[in-house]
Amino acid sequence: MPLSPSENPPVTSPPRAGVRRRLILRAILAGLLGCAGAFGLDALLFRTKMYPQLLEPDSSTGLFELTLRRETKAQQQNGDNLVATLGDSRLGYSPKLADELAPKTGYVFRQAGLAGTDVRSWFYMLRDLDPTARRYRAILFALNDYDDEDGWGDPADDIRVLHYTINRLRLSDAIELARSFDSGALQWEAFRGSVLKGLVYQRDIQEFLSHPLKRIQAVRLNNEGYPTWTWNYEETPRNMVGLQIDWSTWQVVFPPGADQDQIDTVKAFLMYPVAPQTGRFAAYRRQWFGKIIDRYRGSPTKIVFVRLARGPIPRPGNLVRKKSSSIREFARRPNVLLMPEHAFDSLEHPEFYKDGMHLNREGAARFSTMLAEEVAKLLGPPSARGAAR
Amino acid sequence: MLFNTVQFFIFLAVVLLLFYASPRGLRKYILLAASYFFYACWNPKFILLLLTLTAIDYTAGIWIEKTPLGRRRKILLILSLTANLGFLGIFKYYNFVASNVSLLLGKPANSFWFDIVLPLGISFHTFQSMSYVIDVYRGEQAAIRNPTDYALFICFFPQLVAGPIVRARNFFHDLLQWQPPSPDDVSRGLFLLALGLTKKMAFADQFAKVANGYFANVAGHPGMVTAWTGVLAFGMQIYFDFSGYTDMAIGMALLLGFHFPVNFRRPYLAASITEFWHRWHISLSTWLRDYLYISLGGSRHGRWNTYRNLMLTMLLGGLWHGASWNFMIWGGYHGALLAVERAIRGDRRNREGWSWLYPLKWLLTMALVMVGWVFFRAADLHQSLIILGQMFAHPSGHTLFQPWHVGLIVVSLVLAIAEEKLEWFERLMEAPVWAYASALALMLFCLEIFGVIDAQIPFIYFQF
């Protein structure tokens, strides 16, 4: 069958068409089976416990998994009046200190938040932590602001969520998670990562293959120690005393001996230039908090929003004109509660902060107590079935 | 549109679909249009250059065939070769020559420079086109009358930008007597596509990260061990990169019913430089042998002329890769090594295969090849000398490889030895479906966990 019939004629006759077609289909089938096999291998290793139990404990996925495991276990050890808290690194409180008030408040606090996470990660965390959506008396979300202020980055395009939650993602999440990103490239990255988890685990696997024994030891150590280390964790006592900000001239005086981290956090969290208010942040919060709240519709679990103290020196409110408050909108729903916005204003002093955005030991201790008391006030008396066991 | 992108695979799927869904008479036009589209994705302006070269050699072929043997026929050949080499010279070598002339005249290197963009794959399609004209001149190939056929020979997308350099008689045999791919072709094609992609993304690109880090900052990576591992990383990168590309090209061609020549035959198992060149970039080395070395007289006129011919062939082979002194030195270095081997071996044929001396010879060959890669990869002569200085200094420094990099090298070495001894690839093609599918699955899984997905490191030979 020449492609160019004007030239030399064919010298060989083709084999019988039926046989040939069958053999070609067999070859294509083998190719497809190969692809299916690769997918099966991925599923076998990464969608079972086989590889996830060997994840680097000090990675985003590893910490997410350790936290989830710790909190799942804690559900069995505590009574019905559990309050799960979710937030990022700014939710600096000690459940140990908050729980010292348990005899008085009746509530046991559990910290399921993780540095670097946001509401999208919390959705996947809660889905596996509380599959019936009835385990907790309240789920508390710690936020920087009830109003929606757009930053310079697009919150929907934070790919870290894929790395935190990868072990919790199901095949059915692939499209929804991908679509939650605005950038096409990130949509693709999220989609393929959700389908083929090995792509997301790449670096973890390569490091594991380099030092397998070391990894196994680290995993064992963390599995045993993580709940205790985190329970007993104490923040640094260093503070930001001496920090001064003149908002009229945009001048800052750093505490004597301030380190780079302290300087950077002040600049990033307090002294940042106002970004154009596009409404992206509000849309993002509406989408993901909306999903969480919908999940708890009709559940006895309350959704509580808490506005954290705004920093060692709060930014003046007049720097930006915020156009909406998705959180206040949610507060109109039946099982959503808003903690008074200024409940923690008394912590907004340099002596309670270790840097420009995080509480120090003293700040965290005070906040823990205050949080426990405020939550108890907001939720009312605990259920009759008892608080901490 | 790189071969290792999603866009390319969509393009390939569309081409395959259109190709097989169309009436046979239309298929070559589909391939031609697809090939020009593929080239235009890089830079549409250079389609004109491609068309010009195609037109020149298409016409030259017909004229040469019509002209009886003699002076006129030779002049036609020379005119065609001049046009080809002229374009190549202007686009690839002008700035190199100009900067050397400037330096000789004591002027800044860029005094006579032009802002020239090197057309993608010009070295490959020019050589391919030249071989056709020479074959017609020698009477070994009938001139092609159909311009579409000839244009497709020059711009066929699987091998347009980085080969393998396909001989006219092979290509036109497939085109003019086109048969749908056999089941074996389909199996091989699919497997080679996956194998090539794995070689490129899981092996070459991983080693590229190490090599690029080293060569970008040689001063920051002192020490003998560091230098050797940096250079070895590049040696691994270039092999997996180029042979991966070739596997994909051969695989795609098979799926379209074309058969390209083998371009690599486990070159890093070679136990001599001669053997290395029998295994490395075979389509170029045979081109150089058939159209340059033999034309220069080959080994027919005594020892010293043979050495000179080897040297000249390799020097020009080096220069073919790029317009720089480093490529010249790389070519000259290999030419010298080939000449030395020839002097030691005499007229005896180079024997491949196992002997008790094999490990030693292999190690020496690998070391010599790696030394050559320094010139190939380094930014300039100065950097090459610094690296060589480090490689042969007293032992110091640290390895740039992670243990899993070493694992990749060991696995690929084992697979190469197994292929050499057991021909697993051939056996796999004849194996039951489950065995083929399992091998493919393992390879794709390897691609998943080792593939460099987002960096899109270009194929090294695209720059030539």
User: What percent of chain A stands above pLDDT 90?
Assistant: 85
User: Do B405 and B426 have their domain in common?
Assistant: yes
Alpha-carbon gap, residue B321 to B127, rounded angstroms: 12
Rounded Cα gap, residues B183 and A10, in angstroms: 19
User: Which of these three, B120, B152, B181, is where a domain ends?
Assistant: B181
Question: Do B210 and B174 have their domain in common?
Answer: no
Q: Does B444 touch chain A (CB under 8 A)?
A: yes
| Residue A39 to chain B, least CA–CA distance (Å) | 8
Question: Before B164, cis peptide (omega within 30)?
Answer: yes
Task: Give the three-class secondary structure for B245.
Answer: helix
pLDDT at B114: 84
CA distance B152 to chain A (A): 12
CB distance B175–A3 less than 8 Å? Answer: yes
B19 and B34 part of one domain: yes
Distance (Å) from the alpha carbon of A183 to chain B's nearest alpha carbon: 15
Burial class of residue A228, CB neighbours in 10 A (0-12, 13-18, 19+): exposed
Give how far the C-alpha of residue B416 lies from the chain's centroid of Cα atoms, to the nearest Å: 19
Q: Tell me whether B179 touches chain A (CB under 8 Å).
A: yes
- Read off the pTM: 0.86
Pick B187's closest partner by Cβ from A6, A10, A30: A30
Do B438 and A29 lie within an 8 Å CB cutoff? no
Regarding whether B94 and B163 lie in a shared domain, the answer is yes
Q: Which of B6, B182, B440 has its CB closest to that of A31?
A: B440
Helix ranges, A312-360 (H): 326-330
**Residue B1 domain-assigned (yes or no):** no
Q: How far is CA B251 from CA A280, B9, B198, B369, in A?
A: 46, 13, 13, 28
Q: Of the candidates B146, B187, B403, which has its C-beta nearest A7's C-beta?
A: B146
The residue among B163, B181, B199 that closes a domain is B181
Q: Which residue of B has its CA nearest to A5?
A: B176
| C-alpha span between B385 and B378 (Å, rounded) | 9
Average pLDDT over residues A314-340: 93
Give the SS3 label for residue A109: strand
Q: Domain check: are B345 and B422 in the same one?
A: yes
pLDDT reported for residue A180: 96
Question: A193 CA to chain B: closest CA distance, Å?
Answer: 10
Which of helix, strand or coil describes residue A253? strand
Give the containing element (helix H, strand E) for A82: strand A82-86
| C-alpha to C-alpha distances, A77 to A65, A82, A382, B45, nearest whole angstrom | 19, 11, 17, 71
The whole-number pLDDT of residue A12 equals 47
CA distance A95 to A98: 5
Report residues of chain B scoring pLDDT below 70: 349-354
A9 in contact with B, Cβ within 8 Å = yes
Chains A and B: how many Cβ contacts under 8 Å? 140
Do B269 and B309 have their domain in common? yes
Interface test with B, best of A3, A11, A188 (most B CBs within 10 A): A3
| Domain limits for position B32 | 6-181
Give the distance from residue A210's alpha carbon to the nearest chain B alpha carbon, in angstroms: 5
Is residue B281 part of the annotated active site? The answer reads no
Cβ separation B177–A2 shorter than 8 A: yes
Question: How close are the terminal C-alpha atoms of chain A, in Å?
Answer: 82
Q: Which of B150, B181, B212 is the last residue of a domain?
A: B181
Q: Do B177 and A11 touch (CB under 8 A)?
A: yes
Instruction: Tell me if A34 and B449 make a contact (CB, 8 A cut-off).
Output: no
Task: Compute the nearest-CA separation of B445 from chain A (Å).
Answer: 5
Contact flag B437-A33 (C-beta cutoff 8 Å): yes
**Which A-chain residues 19-38 have CB contacts (< 8 A) with chain B?**
20, 23-24, 26-31, 33-38
> Cα(B322)–Cα(B336) distance, rounded to whole angstroms?
19
Q: Under an 8 A CB cutoff, do A34 and B179 touch?
A: no
Check whether residue B15 and residue B91 sit in a common domain. yes
Q: How many CB atoms lie within 10 A of CB A45?
A: 18
Chain A CB contacts of B194 under 8 Å are 34
Q: Which residue among A10, A28, A199 places its CB closest to the CB of B186?
A: A28
- The yes-or-no verdict on residue A65 having pLDDT over 90 is yes
Q: For residue A29, which residues of chain B lie inside 8 Å, CB to CB? A: 433
B347 and B216 share one domain: yes
Which residues of chain A neighbour B445 with C-beta distances below 8 Å? Answer: 37-38, 41-42, 198
Q: Does B392 touch chain A (CB under 8 A)?
A: no
CB–CB contact A27 B187 (8 Å): yes
Non-local (6+) Cβ contacts of B136 within 8 A are B60, B61, B64, B65, B142, B143
Please state, as a whole number, how many other Cβ atoms lie within 10 Å of the Cβ of residue B402. 16
DSSP helix/strand/coil, A245: strand
Give A10 to chain B, closest Cα distance, Å: 5
Q: What is the pLDDT of residues A334-380, one digit of tens each?
A: 999 999 999 999 999 999 999 999 999 999 999 999 999 999 999 99
The domain total for chain B is 2
CB-based contact (8 Å) between B28 and chain A? yes
Is residue B177 assigned to a domain?
yes
- Nearest residue to B35 via CA among B155, B159, B128, B208: B155
Is A59 in contact with A332 (CB distance < 8 Å)? no
Q: Which of B26, B177, B410, B447 to probe by mutation at the A interface, max A CB count within 10 Å?
A: B177
Among partner residues A2, A37, A207, which is closest to B437 by beta-carbon distance? A37
Residue B349 backbone phi and psi in degrees, to 5: -70, 145
| Closest Cβ–Cβ partner in A4, A12, A210 for B404 | A210
B69 touches chain A (CB under 8 A): no
Beta-strand relationship, A251-253 and A244-246: antiparallel
Out of B321, B334, B382, B398, which one is annotated catalytic? Answer: B321
Q: Is residue B163 part of a domain?
A: yes
Cα B370 to Cα B374: distance, rounded to the nearest angstrom = 7
Per DSSP, A313 falls in state S
CB-CB contact of B39 with B112 (8 Å):
no
What are the residues facing A305 on neighbouring strands?
A141, A338
- Quote the minimal CA–CA distance from B172 to chain A in Å: 10
Compute CA distances B194 → A122, B4, B9, B253, B260, whole Å. 38, 11, 11, 14, 17
Inform me whether the C-beta atom of residue B406 falls under 8 Å from chain A C-beta atoms: no
Of A30, A42, A189, the CB nearest to B436: A30
Together in a domain, B216 and B160: no
Whether residue B121 is found in the same domain as residue B215: no
CB interface of B with A, residues 99-158, below 8 Å = 145-146, 148-149
Judge whether residue A189 has pLDDT over 80. Answer: yes
Which of A:157-216 have CB within 8 Å of B? 188-189, 196, 198-199, 201-202, 205-207, 209-211
**Cβ–Cβ contact A334 with B under 8 A:** no
> Residue A5: pLDDT above 60?
no
pLDDT band at A154 (very low <50, low <70, confident <90, very high): very high
Q: Are residues B62 and B172 in the same domain?
A: yes
Nearest residue of B to residue A209 by CA position? B404
Structure token digits, residue A130: 């509380």
What DSSP string runs through B169-190?
HHHHHHHHT--PPPHHHHHHHH
Does the distance separating the beta carbons of B444 and A35 come in below 8 Å?
yes
**CB B383 within 8 Å of CB B216:** no
| Cβ–Cβ below 8 Å for A20 and B444 | no
Q: How far apart are CA B158 and CA B189, in angstroms?
A: 12
User: Which of B145, B169, B254, B449 is most worth mutating to test chain A (most A CB atoms within 10 A of its CB)?
Assistant: B449
Q: Which tokens in the block code for residue B352? A: 């491949």
Does the residue B54 lie in any domain? yes
Write out the E strands in B252-401: none
Torsions phi, psi for A169 (to 5 deg):
-80, 140
Same domain, B259 and B292: yes
Quote the tokens at residue B418: 């197994």
Task: Say whether B389 sits in a helix, a strand or coil.
Answer: helix
